[in-house]
Structure 1
Amino acid sequence: MELYDFITAAAPAGLFPWTAQVEAAERFGLTLGRVEEAALEQGIMPARYQRNRQTITVGNQLRLCRSCAVIIGSGGLGGYLIEELARLGVGNLVVVDPDIFEEHNLNRQILSSPAFLGHPKVEVAAARVGEINPAVTVTPLQLSFSRENGQGILAGSDVVMDGLDSIATRIELAECCRGLSIPLVHGAIGGWYGQVASQLPGDDIVPSLFGNWSEPKGVESQLGNPSFTPAVVASLQVAEACKILLGEGESLRHRMIYVNLLHMEFDEVLLEPPLAAVGE
């Protein structure tokens, strides 16, 4: 029996069960991701994504399956970004972070636990994705992002997610994305507050947000970070990434959402497009 015949026979209601996906991978010597892609190519939705169907078509689920997202930072924001992108079905994730989990991470970083103290964040992230969606391929890179290695890390990706806490590195990331014409979804948090914006090819928005900031870290070093702020901001970032990958909806291009959870306010801030983007 050919792979496509197997998938069709296993999905009479148009949903491909996980147990059948695992069996197909073993029988035909394929990765779980390739089997998932084959099902979607036939217009059959893997059953794990059935609650996506009213929001995301089978064709768009296939686009997500074939997409690659790079997450820079796998801490407060990054952990939620990784979790949600994997559950959404983005097929390839590259996770970049040089750090290990420490005790001060436990209050907010979803991938952290006492059992993982001292473990590299990227290795824990890869293991977590393997638990929740083994069809997703994860490339863990335990290193610091920089202008020097940025092109090699980002090349071939479809969207980049900002989970950083260093202003200087964030600006270098934005510059690399601009040079490679890769969309960047920016997120930052501090205390009750956060912000989200998208820098699309041709734009230079993110550096302008921090042009007058002289400290190496953002306001989180002064305001702290409770558990809920990274969850909210990361979810907004993933929604932005999903729209960008699928070419749907209206992105936050030249706009920023400022989140004030203390007073439960979400404000839109218009960002002046830089000269390089005018007329595009």
Structure 2
Amino acid sequence: MDALQTFLHERATDGLVSWHDQQQAGEQFNRPVAEVEETILQAGLLPARYQRNQQMISTEQQLLLFRSTVAVIGAGGLGGYILEQLARLGVGRIISIDDDIFEENNLNRQLLSSPKNLGRVKVEVAAERIAEVNPAVTLTPIRALLGRDNGAELLSGVDCVVDAVDNVPARLELEELCESLQLPLVHGAIAGWYGHVATILPGEGTLKKIYRHWQGGKGVEAQLGNPSFTPALAASFQVGEVCKLLLEQGRPLRNRQLVFNLLDMEIDEITF
């Protein structure tokens, strides 16, 4: 056992290492806080921030989450909630890809938006927020439009991709890109009181089936708008799917589409 592990074991209480001691270990041993977190988990201990995960996620699984890389495409309504939930869950590396800035019409629903952030680049705000929420998580902000020309480079080393874009053409292109790169994709879309979620493995082509009747235009969200609560719900479903994929647990929404209607409080499933 090296000196850092000895330090951590001496300060752990019931197998938990406090944030204070995690910080102190980084300072004393001149290690980044992310490296200290990995050492804690490797030692069979648990950063105290994750103690409420323990009944469903083992320490070994928490280490697996920490060593995972998830790319989130879009940092707006869905993306902001997804990014924060992934960081709080303990996913160690997150890539946030979006080319947009915050505008006033984002303030009603986008978690990362605020009056002081108007005009700022969304992914840069996301990086600041995640550093504040969980400093052990590494968020890489990329201000770009993801597409066929840059997809292979931007998604290199990724374990899972999350769709938080706001238009049908971008979703269909993203599905094709993930299929070519052999990456799982967790899709979500919202409009007004409604939304849906699906998990797609390479070759399944679920989005082509969902949008088989699409004839152009941005999509129904352009007509129905979005309130504050719909993106939070869809994002939570999506992060749950990501967690299952990374841990290889449960039954993902493969070849299925979960559809929710909050106006009538109904949840349905469509199979393909």
Question: Shorter-chain TM-score: which interval?
Answer: over 0.9
Secondary structure at 1:147's aligned position in 2? coil
**3-state secondary structure, aligned to 2:240:** helix
Give the Å deviation of 1:2.
1.1
Q: Within the alignment, does 1:49 sit opposite 2:66 as a pair?
A: no
| Alpha-carbon distance in 1 for matches of 2:210, 2:257 | 10
Asked if 1 retains the 8 angstrom alpha-carbon contact of 2:147 and 2:177, the reply is no
Q: Which amino acid aligns with 1:98?
A: D
Amino acid aligned to 1:264? M
State the match for 2:60 in structure 1. Answer: 59
Deviation at 1:91, TM superposition (A): 0.3
Using the alignment, how far apart are the partners of 1:226 and 1:40 within structure 2?
39
- Match of 1:30, as an amino acid? R
Give the corresponding residue for 1:209: 210
* Partner in structure 2 of residue 122 of structure 1: 123
Q: CA deviation at 1:29?
A: 2.0
Q: How much does 1:218 deviate?
A: 2.0
Q: What secondary structure does 1:203 align onto?
A: coil
Q: Structure 1: which 5+ residue stretches go unaligned? A: 272-280
RMSD, aligned CA = 1.0
Distance 1:76 1:207 in 2: 23
Moved more, 199-208 or 148-157: 199-208
**Hey, what does 1:132 align to over in structure 2?**
133
Who is 1:84 aligned against? 85
Displacement, 1:187? 0.1
Find the counterpart in structure 1 of residue 33 from structure 2.
32
Q: Distance in 1 between matches of 2:203 and 2:249?
A: 19
How far off its partner does 1:12 sit? 3.5
Using the size of structure 2 for normalisation, the TM-score is 0.97
TM-score (norm 1): 0.95
Match of 2:184 in 1: 183
Partner in structure 1 of residue 94 of structure 2? 93
Where does residue 233 of structure 1 map in the other structure? 234
Residue 27 of structure 1: how far off its partner (Å): 1.9
- The ranges of structure 1 where at least 4 consecutive aligned residues each deviate by more than 6 angstroms after the TM superposition are none
Shift of 1:259: 0.6
Structure 1 residue 34: Cα displacement: 1.2
Which has the larger displacement, 6-15 or 239-248? 6-15
CA–CA separation in structure 2 for the residues paired with 1:45 and 1:67: 17
Q: C-alpha distance in 2, partners of 1:87/1:207?
A: 32
1:242 aligned to 2:236? Answer: no
Give the aligned partner of residue 266 of structure 1.
267
**1:212 CA displacement:** 2.3
State the alpha-carbon separation in 2 of the partners of residues 181 and 97 from structure 1: 22
Q: CA deviation at 1:24?
A: 1.2
- After superposition, the C-alpha distances for 1:65-93 in whole angstroms (9 at most, x for unaligned) are 00000000000000000010000000000
**In terms of mean alpha carbon deviation, does 233-242 or 213-222 score higher?**
213-222
Q: Give 1:116 shift.
A: 0.3
What is the Cα deviation at residue 201 of structure 1?
A: 3.0
Match for 2:44: what amino acid?
A: G
Paired amino acid for 1:63: L
1:214 Cα deviation (Å)? 2.2
How far the C-alpha of 1:208 sits from its partner, in A, is 2.4
Looking at structure 2, the residues matched to 179 and 29 of structure 1 have their Cα atoms a distance apart, in angstroms, of 41
Number of the residue aligned with 2:24: 23
Distance 2:212 2:157 in 1: 29
